[in-house]
Amino acid sequence: MKIHLRQIQADGLHLEGEEDCPIQDLEKEDVSCTGPLRYSLDVGISEGALWASGRLVQPVELKCVRCLEPFPFDIEVKAFSLHLELTGPELIDLTPYLREDILLNLPAHPHCDREGGRVCPAPAEMGAGVPAAEKEEKAQPDWSALDKLKL
Ligand SMILES: [Zn+2]
């Protein structure tokens, strides 16, 4: 995503749209892009620096580390923020910065139940794979024995 400094007005510039997925080289690491990068950014110039802030969403397919099945996931950068000293070129490529923040928000050990909201078909081990809601129910204290005592 390239921005020319002349595009940016004094009161800043709002950018919204789609770009080619910037992490297409991660296929062999079981991260495949399933759509374009969606962005909504505010860009401005102040005191010799370019700043940008906003939100990024990159839909991908990840591979669950337990069942090894692929599942869809949106890598979301909720608060992308960039401050870049302007040193020369008037055409600035934001892609490396977008890529970096997307990679930071990529789950290192994706689980299809945790990140994908599915029930992982891999054999359960130590309660893993149990949906969070069920775990909470089980954590509730069981008062039935006490109730019987009162009677
Ligand atoms: Zn799984």
Q: What is the 3-state secondary structure (H, E, C) of the chain?
A: CEEEHHHCCCCCEEEEEEECCCCHHHHHHCEEECCCEEEEEEEEEECCEEEEEEEEEEEEEEECCCCCCEEEEEEEEEEEEEEEECCCCCEEECHHHHHHHHHHCCCCCCCCCCCCCCCCCCCCCCCCCCCHHHHHHHHCCCCHHHHHHHC
Report pLDDT digits (tens) over 21-52: 999 999 888 999 999 999 999 999 998 999 99
Alpha-carbon distance of 33 to 83, in angstroms, equals: 27
- How close is the Cα of 35 to the center of ligand 1, in Å? 22
Cα 129 to ligand 1 centroid, rounded to whole Å = 8
70: CA distance to ligand 1 center in Å?
Answer: 8
Closest Cα partner for 55 from 28, 79, 33? 79
Report how far ligand 1's centroid is from the alpha carbon of 46 (Å). 47
Task: Say how many Å lie between the CA of residue 1 and the centre of ligand 1.
Answer: 34
Residue 54 — very low, low, confident or very high, per pLDDT cuts 50/70/90? very high
Residue 150 lies in a domain: no
Q: How far is the CA of 111 from the centre of ligand 1 (A)?
A: 5
151 inside domain: no
Q: How many CB atoms lie within 10 A of CB 75?
A: 23
The domain total for the chain is 1
Q: In whole angstroms, give the CA distance from residue 120 to residue 67.
A: 7
> If you measure from the C-alpha of residue 27 to the centroid of ligand 1, how many angstroms do you get, rounded to a whole number?
19
CA of 71 from ligand 1 middle (Å) equals 8
Report the distance separating Cα 81 and Cα 91, nearest Å: 19
How far is ligand 1, taken at its centre, from the CA of residue 109, in Å? Answer: 11
Cα 50 to averaged position of ligand 1 atoms, centre (Å): 42
Question: Which domain covers residue 110, as residue numbers?
Answer: 2-145
81-110 residue pLDDT tens: 999 999 888 999 999 999 999 999 999 999
| pLDDT the model gives residue 17 | 97
